[in-house]
Amino acid sequence: MLPCGHTVKHGLGHVTVLRVSDAGILAGDLKPKERTTVVKIEQLAARTPAVSVEELLKGFYPSPRFGEVSFDSYRPDPSQPSQANAVKLLSGFADGVGNGDGGGLFKKLFAKKAPATRAGIYLDGGFGVGKTHLLASLWHRSPGPKAFGTFVEYTNLVGALSFRKTVEALSSYKLVCIDEFELDDPGDTVLMSRLMRELADAGVKLAATSNTLPGSLGEGRFAAVDFQREIQVLADQFDVVRIDGEDFRHRGLPAAPAPLKTEELKHRMRAEFDGKTVAVDDFGTLVNHLAAVHPSRYRQLISGVEAVVWSDVETITEQAVALRFVVLADRLYDKDVPILASGVPFDKLFTEEMMTGGYTKKYFRAVSRLTALAREAQNHEPA
């Protein structure tokens, strides 16, 4: 452990360590009598979290942004009756969670046959109409065990555990909620189709949000005709609830704040993040490190981090690298972690080809969220 007052070299220059825990504490040039609070420095690129199956599953709950939402706290737009209708339908769906078709062979043979119902409910609509709020409200209202995660988090869970172990882990759940349900490639189509079918067969209730109707998932990204059977089976699992409202296509990306100069970062970090635990990384080093950490562990990667500082942000040109960074952006946004950065602005983080290609919704969302977190740090605007 370094002694108090030891000077260490960091990416932002030499800093003074007042107390040392993990990567140490940045105090900068403050005089001793002024050092009432300090910034604790971490580096994401130095973290390699090891996560057990139990810890992975415990992470499937709504982010702090939606930690206390409810159907009552949702405010439907009076000019959009579909929003109030969605609340009514979801509330009724919640009443049925936990009342599955179990009961053994005797009950199945002799019980009066109930009307056929689908295993899940599917909320479709543009960005900003409250789909995630409603999905999280359903999760809070329903009995457990239950899971809430994004589409990408579930595919990452399968990658971390294996398909069979994921099915085994989730089959005992009463409800599985999938936010931002998107099919990015043929492999995901087959994977999620099988997962939903097996969970539905096990009596698990399913709920999902998306910006694309289930029968149209995959269009524009690959030859959907080749996978029509899988997509149709997936669509048949859900009752579709359309939520109308102003679509994101009618709104531009929020203006990205001008990036800071690298030499400004240390001063702004002390001013904005005094007393917080801050992850300070060279952007290129961080991007390379993400390839060594499974995306299912990104939630644990940023555990305990209250703010991040990135120096020399560059445009990402490789698709695989970009998609990994989208996952990190989602996890940072979930935890409302403000960002200070130098280099290119976040609206230039991905290439123009990426922003207009098959993953455009993912990249649009990532840029929007990173920009909001940067505006929160620099302009004190809520993200």
Q: Give the pLDDT of residue 306.
A: 95
* Cα 127 to Cα 290: distance, rounded to the nearest angstrom: 28
pTM, 2 dp: 0.74
Reported as type and span, the H/E element at residue 331 is: helix 319-334
* Cα 266 to Cα 272: distance, rounded to the nearest angstrom: 10
Q: What is the pLDDT along the chain (383 residues), one digit of tens a residue?
A: 333 433 334 444 333 232 323 333 333 443 333 443 456 888 999 999 888 888 899 999 998 889 999 999 999 988 999 999 999 999 999 999 987 544 333 333 444 443 445 789 999 887 678 899 999 999 999 999 999 999 889 998 999 999 999 999 999 999 999 998 876 677 787 888 899 999 999 999 999 988 666 666 666 655 455 556 666 777 777 888 988 876 444 455 567 788 899 999 989 999 999 889 999 999 999 999 999 999 999 999 999 999 999 999 999 999 999 999 999 999 999 999 999 999 999 999 999 999 988 888 889 889 989 999 999 998 877 76
The phi, psi pair for 164, rounded to 5°, reads: -65, -40
Cβ atoms of 169 and 175 within 8 Å: the answer is: no
Cβ atoms of 274 and 306 within 8 Å: the answer is: no
| Domains of the chain, first to last | 7-42+257-379 (3.40.50), 53-249 (3.40.50.300)
